[in-house]
Amino acid sequence: MANTRYIYGFHALAARLRQRAGSVHEVYVESNRRDARTADLVRQARAAGVRVVEIDAARLAGMAGAGRHQGVAAKVDTVDLATSLDDVLDAVQGPPLLLVLDGVTDPHNLGACLRSADAAGVHAVVAPKDRAVGLNATVMKVASGAADTVPYITVTNLARTLRELKERDIWIVGAAEEAAVAHHAPGLDRPLAWVLGAEGEGLRRLTKETCDELRRIPMAGSVASLNVSVATGICLFEAVRQRGGA
């Protein structure tokens, strides 16, 4: 029997119903919600043959934990994605595109990074087991369905994993504000892994030393750095642009 979990929030539920309606067991709606957004979600669920249950706010809060559930939740099957980089890379056709996150501990940032990764066609997101947030309910909500489509692979030793990627002829590019090369310089159309660190701290020393190349996002204003999820989108879509937008 498949493992189940609760997801919550309008975007996450709508994406799951759209992508994998058969994996949704029940949709739960706060009993006093009568707004148009809730009604649209209920119609989507019923059209997919999913049972809708009205419950009180206390029970809904228990399902969502500390997260903001927006008055809706669902019991769903966990989605089986690739669990190893070897599995991912063996199945890729064309040059791989990976996102490596070093030290991202904020669930909202990780969720937003997963959304950008999904939109850019990233084959997997890689992160260390330690110093990383993991796929919790908040990440699932912010990712708006992307956590069900992009493999999120955790590794014990990030530097060793980067060296193993090099052995597969994947070019490792780290984002660092002190780099001399701009992020939009040519060369991102090859097999590639973009490596980004947490806002403020950036990449750890060993991670930075393991990269083949460091690039920076040129900054014209007064701020010193960008949020990691914003920087992720900029870097990934530059790679997409250089690959011809495919």
Q: What pLDDT, in 10s, does the model give residues 183-209?
A: 999 999 999 999 999 877 889 999 999
Amino acid, single-letter form, for residue 241: R
Residue 161 sits in the same domain as residue 62? no
Confidence band, pLDDT 50/70/90 cuts, at residue 1: very low
Chain-wide mean pLDDT for the chain? 91
Note the pTM of the prediction, 2 decimals: 0.79
Residue 98 sits in the same domain as residue 25? no
High-pLDDT (> 70) share of the chain, %: 98
Q: Highest mean pLDDT: which of 66-75, 190-199, 215-224? A: 190-199
Number of H helices, E strands in the chain: 9, 11
- Range of 126's domain? 85-242
Among 61, 77, 93, the domain-final residue is: 77
Among 58, 77, 96, the domain-final residue is: 77
**Looking at residue 156, which CATH number applies to its domain?**
3.40.1280.10
Residue 65 sits in the same domain as residue 164? no
Whether the per-residue pLDDT at 157 is higher than 90: the answer is: yes
Residue 37 sits in the same domain as residue 100? no
Residue 142 sits in the same domain as residue 39? no
Contact 200, 173 (CB under 8 A): no
Whether the per-residue pLDDT at 242 is higher than 70: the answer is: yes
Q: How many domains does the chain have?
A: 2
Whether the per-residue pLDDT at 46 is higher than 80: the answer is: yes
Strand pairing of 97-102 and 152-155? unpaired
Residue 174 sits in the same domain as residue 205? yes
Among 30, 50, 77, the domain-final residue is: 77
Residue 163 sits in the same domain as residue 138? yes
Residue 178 sits in the same domain as residue 101? yes
Residues in the chain: 246
Comparing 136-140, 168-172, 207-211, 221-225, the range with the smallest average pLDDT is 221-225
Strand pairing of 171-175 and 97-102? unpaired
Residue 159 to residue 112: CA distance in whole angstroms: 24
